[in-house]
Amino acid sequence: MRKPFIAGNWKMYKTTAEAKAFARAFTKLYNSSDVQTAICAPYTQLETLIEAFKGTDIKIGAQNMHFAEEGAFTGEISAKMLKEIGVDYCIIGHSERRQYFGETDETVNLKLRKAFSADIIPILCVGESLEERDGGKAFDVVKNQLASGLKEITKEQASSLVIAYEPVWAIGTGRNATPEQADEMCGFIRDTIEELYDDVVSDQTIIQYGGSVKPANATDIMNMPEIDGALVGGASLIPEDFIEIVNF
């Protein structure tokens, strides 16, 4: 049985003071439930949130990491550094990183390998652009992102993987995929995981939908059979909105 998994992606929002205020407000609203909740925050807010949510079942994730163990990579953060402070998850291959920071399927693959070896659960983001969807290429694009991103990832590693289907055209645009469109692609992702591994792995894989998930559409999205969770950007910044999504 897959446990629903709702993760916030704060992107480059919130100072330490703002993160503390969020944690205070969110803790008051939050009751631990059958849903796994996580917040993927900027690096400088990770320890603040880990401390603030101590004693709850809320997990903390990063939004990126480097693929090397360590080295002369100015400005980068390693998986080991994240693990040391108690980070459980890391978003890998978000479309904003692919679009603005030169992330490729190759670097995504290297980062996945490193995350697994450091015992960090990766949230692998895949998704097509509007042009690709309109051109009828959405399924091919996602399949390729999965096949190259998961190269040489073992079956054992893949069984703890989280995948977020985030159509680029739905991120931050207020234009979400319909629950049916999202479900269709999440089902296709599950079939692809079965092809790459087997049905045991595909049954276990948590597949989230991300892209303009809001309190108003969360229930419809979460009720779809192939969708196990949501990766929430904008609405995860507001405690009252994020709690409504967590309590879908």
Residue ranges binding ligand PGA (CB under 6 A): 9, 166, 171-172, 210-213, 231-234
132 vs 241, beta carbon nearer ligand PGA:
241
Q: What are phi and psi of 231, to 5 degrees?
A: -110, 115
Residue 128 annotated in active site: no
**Nearest position to ligand PGA, beta carbon:** 233
Binding-site residue ranges for substrate = 9-11, 172, 212, 233-234
CB contact at 8 A, 191 and 146: no
Q: Measured from the CB atom, is 36 or 212 closer to ligand PGA? A: 212
Q: Among positive and negative, which fits the CA dihedral 218, 46, 124, 11?
A: positive
Binding residues: 9-11, 172, 212, 233-234
Q: Which is nearer to ligand PGA, 177 or 201 (CB)?
A: 177
- Answer yes or no: are the C-beta atoms of 164 and 124 closer than 8 Å: yes
3-state SS assignment for residue 3: coil
| Nearer residue to ligand PGA within complex by CB, 103 or 166 | 166
Alpha helices in the chain (DSSP H): 16-29, 43-52, 79-85, 95-100, 105-117, 130-134, 138-149, 155-158, 179-196, 199-204, 215-222, 239-246
Tokens of 146: 């999965």
* Least distance CB 129 / ligand PGA (angstroms): 14
Catalytic residue, from 66, 94, 103, 132: name it: 94
Report whether 210 contacts 230 (CB < 8 A). Answer: yes
Mark whether 66 is an active-site residue: no
Report in angstroms how near the CB of residue 96 gets to ligand PGA at its nearest. Answer: 7
Which residue, among 244, 224, 161, 223, has the nearest Cα to 232 in the 3D structure? Answer: 244
List, in sequence order, every residue forming a beta bridge with 3; answer none if it has no partner: none
CB of residue 231 to ligand PGA, shortest distance in Å: 4
The single residue of 96, 128, 132, 166 carrying the catalytic annotation is 166
Q: How far is the CB of 181 from ligand PGA (least distance, A)?
A: 15
Active-site residues, by number, are 94, 166
